[in-house]
Amino acid sequence: MLYHTYLLGGFLLIIQGSCGDIVLTQTPAFLTVTPGYNVFMYCKASNSLYFSSTGKNYLNWYQQKPGQPSKLLFYWADSRYPGNPERFSTTGSGPDFMLEISNVLAEDAAVYYCQQDRNEPRTVIQSRTKTFLFCFQCQLIESVM
């Protein structure tokens, strides 16, 4: 905890404030899904990511496939980045957010992670802030198609 101390006209004023990074916890860590089903991923921040002066939640969702750079899916919690499928959607505000993928396809297999953009440092990426999405029976389904 950080304390600011001020001497004002002979009175000692101590203001307690928070110090430190916003920590994100993403669940579940691993998902295995059959194509055609829906999946849900959750991201919880240690503090609210809502900024009242802008009316926005400063949370981003990313997708990263093996050997590729991260791809932005959503910014400000629910603003879709151009080119992302309508099957991807988000909800949430404050400290609690959710990413849903409807009608999962084999191509959705990737690592998904949330990032807070509210305070410095802007990126708080830890092993627990990622969800690994595996596709069950994708080889079988792709070979039949």
For residue 140, give both structure tokens. 């079988």
Residue 42 pLDDT level (bands cut at 50, 70, 90): very high
- Fill in the amino acid letter for 64: Q
pTM, two decimal places: 0.75
How many structural domains compose the chain?
Answer: 1
Domain housing 71: 21-144
* DSSP category for residue 127: G
At residue 28, does pLDDT exceed 50? Answer: yes
Report the CATH number at residue 105. Answer: 2.60.40.10
At residue 82, does pLDDT exceed 90? Answer: yes
Q: Tell which residue, 23, 43, 47, has the closest CA to residue 91.
A: 43
* Residue 11 within any structural domain of the chain: no
* Residue 30 within any structural domain of the chain: yes
For residue 1, give both structure tokens. 């905890």
- Quote the pLDDT of residue 66: 87
- Quote the pLDDT of residue 29: 84
* DSSP category for residue 107: G
Q: Which residue did the predictor score with more confidence, 131 or 140?
A: 131
At residue 36, does pLDDT exceed 70? Answer: yes
